[in-house]
Structure 1
Amino acid sequence: MITYTPEQVRERFGPLFSKKFLVMVDELAGMAEILEQCRSRGTIEWDAMNRSRAGGAVITCAVEGAAMTIHARIGIYPVNFGSAGDAIGGQALEGVEVNDNEVVTIWRGIAGAGVGIAACLPQAPGVIRAEYPEEEDLHVGGARINHVRIVSPRYEKITIGIDDTDTKTEGATWVMALQCAEACSIPGVEFLNMRLIQLNPDVPNKTTNCVGSALNFAVLPGKVEALLEFVREYVLAHTHSDEAGIACYSGIILPDHDDLAARVKTEILTVDQATAGAEVCGIRFLIPAPTKGRIGALGAVLWANKGVEAAGLYGEHL
């Protein structure tokens, strides 16, 4: 096994195009979520199509701009480049291994796709080291086959929903939520994205739009409670309402939530119903008082990772 740091990879192959590499793990669900960012959308799209085609550990690939999110199974799985691999090359995620506070993603690439996994991805910010099984794996391009094990820190995914921090005369929850995320400077906490969730507009007791706000973070082990306490204190210090709610979930996949996600957009739930539904899904609230904001905060968590449809009325699609 030949081990290179990202700096050594860059020195050998020259600076390439990967801008970020991050892996979150949900061991209870047996899944990992891999986030990659590149300078170019074209390479991300090509990689996503190739990895989906090859199978292996990949469950789904989603592309947003020049970034890709992969949901993958933990473990090692056979890949199949098929006839397309012989003609145009190919790229595959063979497996994901969790070793204490590190995650190993195992890659195979053919031809130009081998350059991506052997020379480009291992020098991305977020990589600890790259392990090449043989010297031949360090020779890229042409019709070669390359293998590499990329080692990165093990993150957890934390989703936080916030609602009812404004009134009819003051504030906007989405503004405060985004300011909260950007104010967080805890080492080992990476802010991923923010999403606005359209809830049921027929709710009578609301400001105007009936919209909750969701924040997604990648968090190193041991930093989760620090993040949750920071968010709780920030919201309580900046809310204009006594009805603020904060909900949180740790993991990639929410269990048994589809029916509740539909109801929060189509029905008028009570605080008791929201509290009971959250318990079933493993969602907890950071403000002990059973405030009205619990309903929207729960809805924000339920829709935080469901795509652009979260911003629409129930059933709306782009």
Structure 2
Amino acid sequence: MIVYTPDEIQKRFGRLFSQRLLVMVDEDAGRAEILEECRCRGSIEWDVMNRKRAGGAVTGITVEGTSMTMQAKIGHYPARFGPADQELGGQALEGVEIQGDEVITSWAGIAGAGVGVAACLPQAPGVIRTEYESEDDLKIGGARLSRSRIVTPRYEKVTIGIDDTDTKEEGATWVLASQCAEACTIEGAEYLNMRLIQLNPKVPNKTTNCVGSALNFAVRPDKIDELLTYVRDFIQENAVSTDTGIAVYRGIGLPEVSPYMTKVKTEVLNQQECENEAARLGITYIDTCAGKGRIGALGAVLWANEGIEAAGLYGEHL
């Protein structure tokens, strides 16, 4: 076994293109979510198509510019790996395993894709170390095949829905949510993104546009409580409404598709039914206002990872 740190890999191969590798796991659900950022859009797109074709541990992938987010299964799985062809992917994620407070992802790549798994990803910010079976895995390029085991810190995913921080006279929930996320300095809490969720604009009790906000974080397990306390205090101290709702889901993917995904965009709901649905799905409220903002906060969590359609009216697509 050969082990390299990111600095050692960079010294051997020079600075390459990976800008971030972050792995979140949900051990109870057997799921992982892997965020990868690169300076090269072309390599991200090629890797996505080949990893999807190869299968292995991958269950789904989305792309935004030079970033990809992979959904994966925890465990090791045979991949349809080899030179790119109708049935084979030239790069593959073969496994995800949890070892204490670390996560190990196992990769295979051939030719240029081997450079990616042996030299590029291993020097990404966020990597602790990379393990290679032999020196042959470090002979990259040409028609060579390489495998690597990349070790990263263990993160969990936390999704936070926020609504009703404003009034008709002042405030904007998306601004406050974004300010909260960007002001967070908790070590071990990585801000991923903010999403706006269009709720039902025909409800009678609303501000103007009827929009909730969702924040996604990758968080070290021992920092989750600290993050939630920070978010609750920041939002409630700066909100201008007494109806603010803050809902939280810990995990990758909800246990099932909720009928309230449709309802929050199309119906007039009451607070009690939304609190009941949240409890059924394992979503908790951390606000102390206990007001109608909990309706939109639930909707924000339900749509927080559903793509651009979250921002549209129900049924709208690009």
Shorter-normalised TM range: over 0.9
Q: Which residue of 1 aligns with 2:215?
A: 215
The alpha-carbon deviation at position 28 of structure 1 amounts to 1.3
Q: Which residue of 1 aligns with 2:79?
A: 79
1:155 paired with 2:158, answer no
Please say if residues 89 and 113 of structure 1, whose CA atoms lie closer than 8 Å, have aligned partners that are also in contact.
no
Please say if residues 162 and 300 of structure 1, whose CA atoms lie closer than 8 Å, have aligned partners that are also in contact.
yes
Number of residue-to-residue matches in the alignment: 318
Please say if residues 188 and 219 of structure 1, whose CA atoms lie closer than 8 Å, have aligned partners that are also in contact.
yes
The alpha-carbon deviation at position 35 of structure 1 amounts to 0.2
Please say if residues 271 and 290 of structure 1, whose CA atoms lie closer than 8 Å, have aligned partners that are also in contact.
no
- Aligned pair in 2 of structure 1 residues 207, 87: CA closer, same or farther (>3 Å)? closer
Please say if residues 200 and 266 of structure 1, whose CA atoms lie closer than 8 Å, have aligned partners that are also in contact.
yes
1:195 paired with 2:195, answer yes
CA distance in 2, matches of 1:174, 1:17: 32
CA distance in 2, matches of 1:300, 1:187: 25
Q: Which residue of 2 aligns with 1:43?
A: 43
1:242-287 CA-partner distances (Å, limit 9, x unpaired): 0000000000111133311111111111000110010011000012
Q: Which moved more, 1:46-55 or 1:248-257?
A: 248-257
- Aligned pair in 2 of structure 1 residues 186, 73: CA closer, same or farther (>3 Å)? same
Please say if residues 89 and 112 of structure 1, whose CA atoms lie closer than 8 Å, have aligned partners that are also in contact.
no
CA distance in 1, matches of 2:175, 2:87: 50
CA distance in 1, matches of 2:187, 2:50: 35
Please say if residues 193 and 216 of structure 2, whose CA atoms lie closer than 8 Å, have aligned partners that are also in contact.
yes
- Aligned pair in 2 of structure 1 residues 272, 103: CA closer, same or farther (>3 Å)? same
The alpha-carbon deviation at position 289 of structure 1 amounts to 4.1
The alpha-carbon deviation at position 220 of structure 1 amounts to 0.4
1:176 paired with 2:176, answer yes
CA distance in 1, matches of 2:132, 2:22: 19
CA distance in 2, matches of 1:296, 1:89: 42
Q: Which residue of 1 aligns with 2:256?
A: 256
1:208-265 CA-partner distances (Å, limit 9, x unpaired): 1100000000000110000000000001110000000000000011113331111111
Please say if residues 83 and 89 of structure 2, whose CA atoms lie closer than 8 Å, have aligned partners that are also in contact.
no
Please say if residues 159 and 304 of structure 2, whose CA atoms lie closer than 8 Å, have aligned partners that are also in contact.
yes
- Aligned pair in 2 of structure 1 residues 278, 30: CA closer, same or farther (>3 Å)? same
CA distance in 1, matches of 2:8, 2:179: 37
- Aligned pair in 2 of structure 1 residues 148, 209: CA closer, same or farther (>3 Å)? same
> How is 1:103-118 mapped onto 2 (pairs within 5 angstroms)?
103-118=103-118
Please say if residues 246 and 285 of structure 2, whose CA atoms lie closer than 8 Å, have aligned partners that are also in contact.
yes
What amino acid does structure 1 have at the position aligned with 2:101?
N
CA distance in 2, matches of 1:98, 1:280: 28
Q: Which residue of 1 aligns with 2:33?
A: 33
CA distance in 2, matches of 1:202, 1:12: 60
CA distance in 2, matches of 1:82, 1:149: 18
CA distance in 1, matches of 2:236, 2:12: 51
- Aligned pair in 2 of structure 1 residues 10, 85: CA closer, same or farther (>3 Å)? farther
The alpha-carbon deviation at position 290 of structure 1 amounts to 2.6
Q: Which residue of 2 aligns with 1:21?
A: 21
Please say if residues 162 and 245 of structure 1, whose CA atoms lie closer than 8 Å, have aligned partners that are also in contact.
yes
Q: Secondary structure in 2 aligned to 1:166?
A: coil
Q: Which residue of 1 aligns with 2:120?
A: 120
1:283-304 CA-partner distances (Å, limit 9, x unpaired): 0001244300000001000000
What amino acid does structure 1 have at the position aligned with 2:106?
I
Structure 1 stretches of 4+ with a deviation exceeding 2 A read 81-89
Q: Percent identity?
A: 64
CA distance in 2, matches of 1:87, 1:314: 37
CA distance in 2, matches of 1:289, 1:216: 22
The alpha-carbon deviation at position 41 of structure 1 amounts to 1.1
Runs of at least 5 residues in structure 2 that lack an aligned partner in the other structure: none
What amino acid does structure 2 have at the position aligned with 1:64?
E
What amino acid does structure 1 have at the position aligned with 2:49?
M
Q: What TM-score, normalized to structure 1?
A: 0.98
Cα RMSD for the two superposed structures = 1.4
Runs of at least 5 residues in structure 1 that lack an aligned partner in the other structure: none
Q: Which residue of 1 aligns with 2:244?
A: 244
The alpha-carbon deviation at position 200 of structure 1 amounts to 0.5
Q: Secondary structure in 1 aligned to 2:94?
A: strand
Please say if residues 192 and 217 of structure 1, whose CA atoms lie closer than 8 Å, have aligned partners that are also in contact.
yes
